[in-house]
């Protein structure tokens, strides 16, 4: 199975094939007999052990916000447009998934002492009093983000009423891997917990994260774009985890790209890893699944045929470039980046060790990253010969994922166009 068993021994997290203990903060609650399950798969009964956390909220510098007001307004509009494009992909089939979850009774946060989130904040993180909570974001996949105000400061709470804690565990591993590089800040995962089943909805899960005070549209500022480019390049060049990946491609857990389960089994060469990823996306187009849009009609074989041909061409399309494993965020669109007074931050990763150029392909899908970012990034990691061809190949992968999630006809046309262009090279 691609979804690996995780066990808890004396509070330290280990994975059967090694490596996660190097990532996950000791403060994160782990679960015994925990399986990294794909979404929608029947869950086992999980018993979670509470591990006390000592993480404190980080202070932020009080430096004055720089930049011209007109530029900030223009930047805000640019980010709004990027996020609008993403939301337009959420067609009726996906919205129905959220509506089905909303029907009938379901878990709702409260400040009551027996609420599972309140109990975790108080018993695990040392909070004495929770003053209030506030919904910050609600996304089509069922994830909701809250801000909790307590006598120990602010906390982010991310919850999903139907997911297993193992889903958030894979995200916590990714966040901890990113944090270990000291290149590009991200929120620290502090605790994982379970939500009860209420009515027909659940059980679910939640994750407590370090609170980061994000500046409104801060990532669109010119200085933040430049710094993000510099820091992302530093992440991609970082060798902190060299002893873990040992030149291989993959990750210590199999995780998720939005709702899509990913196979991160270690692979010795990049073309083989990428081909496997592409095979999964193409196959999923024609499979009934418990996430995303319904399968394409079996009579519509266009993408099955084109996809198979592109997969066979992967070694040739990647010829001439030497690929070394880089830790990449994996889902870095503009909505998963922000900025505090201290600088850029990233969140909601789908990490793995892969070709750093694949990160850039995802970043071009919805826009929001400007010349200041690209110039700063490529000053440290210049484009290599064949860059544009490889960008098309990696974009093909990410557009296939969008098609699996949303079933948008325009996305399907883009997939066909990219495949045809790749096959002409």
Say whether both 299 and 192 belong to one domain: no
> What's the chain's average pLDDT?
81
Assign 90 to helix, strand or coil: coil
The stretch 34-57 carries a mean pLDDT of 30
pLDDT score recorded for residue 221: 97
Assign 139 to helix, strand or coil: coil
Q: Which residue among 210, 232, 251 closes a domain? A: 210
pLDDT tens digits along 401-410: 999 998 889 9
pLDDT greater than 70 at residue 34: no
pLDDT greater than 70 at residue 284: yes
Say whether both 313 and 367 belong to one domain: yes
Say whether both 203 and 257 belong to one domain: no
Domain presence at residue 182: yes
pLDDT greater than 50 at residue 260: yes
Say whether both 225 and 170 belong to one domain: no
Characterize the bridge pairing of strands 260-261 and 326-328: unpaired
Say whether both 174 and 310 belong to one domain: no
pLDDT score recorded for residue 294: 66
Instruction: Assign 49 a pLDDT band (cuts: 50, 70, 90).
Output: very low
How many whole angstroms separate alpha carbon 31 and alpha carbon 51?
10
pLDDT score recorded for residue 251: 98
Instruction: Assign 36 a pLDDT band (cuts: 50, 70, 90).
Output: very low
pLDDT score recorded for residue 22: 44
Nearest Cα neighbor of 58 from 272, 279, 341 is 341
Say whether both 241 and 191 belong to one domain: no
| Residue 290 domain boundaries | 218-423
Q: What string of DSSP letters covers 164-190?
A: -HHHHHHHHHHHHHHHHTTSS--PPEE
Where residue 144 sits, what CATH number does that domain have? Answer: 3.30.200.20
Domain count, the chain: 2
Domain presence at residue 75: no
Instruction: Assign 164 a pLDDT band (cuts: 50, 70, 90).
Output: confident
Say whether both 255 and 201 belong to one domain: no
Dihedral (CA of 34, 35, 39, 41) sign: negative
Catalytically annotated residues: 331
Say whether both 14 and 137 belong to one domain: yes
Dihedral (CA of 60, 53, 350, 407) sign: negative
Which percentage of the chain shows pLDDT scores above 90?
Answer: 66
Instruction: Assign 84 a pLDDT band (cuts: 50, 70, 90).
Output: low
Say whether both 317 and 405 belong to one domain: yes
pLDDT score recorded for residue 31: 36
Q: Which residue among 210, 239, 260 closes a domain? A: 210
Distances (CA, A) of 381 to 230, 295, 357, 375, 406: 9, 39, 10, 10, 33
pLDDT tens digits along 337-385: 999 999 999 999 999 999 999 999 999 999 999 999 999 999 999 999 9
Say whether both 261 and 404 belong to one domain: yes
pLDDT tens digits along 187-238: 999 999 999 999 888 899 999 999 999 999 999 999 999 999 999 999 999 9
Partnered with residue 35 across adjacent β-strands are: 5
Contacts of 200 (CB under 8 A, 6+ apart): 104
pLDDT score recorded for residue 88: 52
Beta strand residue intervals within 211-336, DSSP E? 256-257, 260-261, 326-328
- Read off the pTM: 0.80
How many whole angstroms separate alpha carbon 308 and alpha carbon 385?
25
How many whole angstroms separate alpha carbon 20 and alpha carbon 5?
12
pLDDT score recorded for residue 364: 96
Domain presence at residue 400: yes
pLDDT tens digits along 4-23: 222 232 233 333 233 444 45
Domain presence at residue 81: no
pLDDT score recorded for residue 104: 74
Given a contact cutoff of 8 angstroms between Cβ atoms, the answer to whether 196 and 157 are in contact is: no
Domain presence at residue 283: yes
pLDDT score recorded for residue 223: 98
pLDDT greater than 50 at residue 259: yes
Helix axes 356-364, 222-237, angle to 10 degrees: 150
Instruction: Assign 81 a pLDDT band (cuts: 50, 70, 90).
Output: low
pLDDT score recorded for residue 288: 83
Burial pattern 7-39, b for ≥16 Cβ within 10 A else e, equals ebeeeebbbeeebbbbbbbebbbbbeebbbbbb
pLDDT tens digits along 92-129: 444 444 444 555 789 999 999 999 999 999 999 999 99
Say whether both 358 and 287 belong to one domain: yes
> Among the listed ranges 134-138, 298-302, 349-353, 417-421, which one has the minimum average pLDDT value?
298-302
pLDDT score recorded for residue 233: 99
How many whole angstroms separate alpha carbon 9 and alpha carbon 371?
48
Domain presence at residue 150: yes
Where residue 249 sits, what CATH number does that domain have? Answer: 3.90.1200.10
Domain presence at residue 61: no
Say whether both 194 and 267 belong to one domain: no
> Among the listed ranges 75-79, 173-177, 306-310, 343-347, which one has the minimum average pLDDT value?
75-79
Q: Which residue among 189, 210, 231 closes a domain? A: 210
How many whole angstroms separate alpha carbon 423 and alpha carbon 408?
23
Domain presence at residue 87: no
Q: What string of DSSP letters covers 92-115?
A: HHHHHHHHHHHSS--------TTS
Characterise 27 by phi-psi region: left (phi > 0), alpha (psi -120 to 50), beta (else). alpha
Beta strand residue intervals within 30-74, DSSP E? 31-32, 34-35, 47-48
């Amino acid at each position: 199975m691609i979804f690996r068993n995780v066990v808890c021994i004396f509070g330290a997290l280990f994975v059967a094939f090694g490596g996660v203990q190097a990532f996950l903060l000791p403060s994160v609650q782990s679960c015994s007999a925990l399986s990294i399950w794909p979404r929608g798969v029947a869950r086992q009964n999980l018993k979670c052990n509470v591990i006390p956390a000592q993480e404190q909220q980080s202070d932020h510098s009080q430096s004055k916000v720089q930049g011209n007001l007109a530029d900030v307004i223009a930047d805000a509009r640019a980010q709004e447009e990027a996020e609008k494009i993403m939301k337009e992909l959420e067609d009726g089939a996906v919205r129905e998934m959220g509506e089905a979850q909303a029907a009938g009774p379901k878990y709702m946060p409260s400040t009551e002492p027996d609420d599972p989130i309140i109990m975790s904040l108080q018993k695990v993180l040392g909070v004495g009093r929770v003053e209030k909570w506030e919904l910050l974001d609600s996304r089509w996949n069922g994830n909701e983000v809250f801000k909790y105000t307590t006598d120990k400061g602010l906390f982010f709470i991310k919850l999903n009423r139907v997911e297993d804690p193992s889903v958030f565990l894979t995200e916590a591993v990714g966040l901890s891997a990113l944090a270990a590089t000291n290149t590009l800040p991200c929120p620290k995962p502090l605790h994982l917990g379970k939500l009860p089943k209420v009515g027909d909805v659940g059980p679910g899960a939640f994750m407590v994260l370090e609170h980061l005070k994000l500046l409104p549209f801060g990532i669109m500022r010119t200085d933040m774009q430049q710094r993000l480019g510099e820091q992302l390049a530093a992440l991609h060049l970082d060798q902190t985890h060299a002893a873990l990946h040992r030149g291989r491609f993959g990750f210590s857990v199999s995780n998720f790209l939005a709702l899509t389960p990913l196979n991160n089994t270690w692979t010795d060469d990049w073309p083989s890893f990428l081909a496997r990823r592409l095979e999964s996306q193409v196959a999923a187009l024609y499979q009934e699944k418990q996430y995303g849009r319904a399968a394409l009609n079996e009579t519509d074989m266009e993408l099955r045929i084109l996809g198979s041909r592109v997969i066979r061409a992967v070694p040739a399309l990647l010829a001439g470039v030497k690929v070394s494993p880089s830790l990449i965020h994996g889902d870095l669109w503009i909505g998963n980046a922000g900025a505090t007074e201290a600088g850029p931050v990233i969140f909601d990763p789908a990490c793995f060790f892969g070709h750093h150029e694949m990160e850039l392909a995802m970043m071009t899908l919805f826009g929001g990253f400007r010349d200041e970012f690209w110039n700063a990034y490529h000053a440290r990691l210049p484009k290599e010969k064949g860059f544009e061809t490889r960008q098309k190949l990696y974009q093909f992968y990410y557009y296939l994922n969008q098609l699996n999630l949303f079933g948008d006809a325009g996305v399907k046309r883009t997939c066909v166009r990219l495949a045809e262009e790749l096959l002409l090279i």
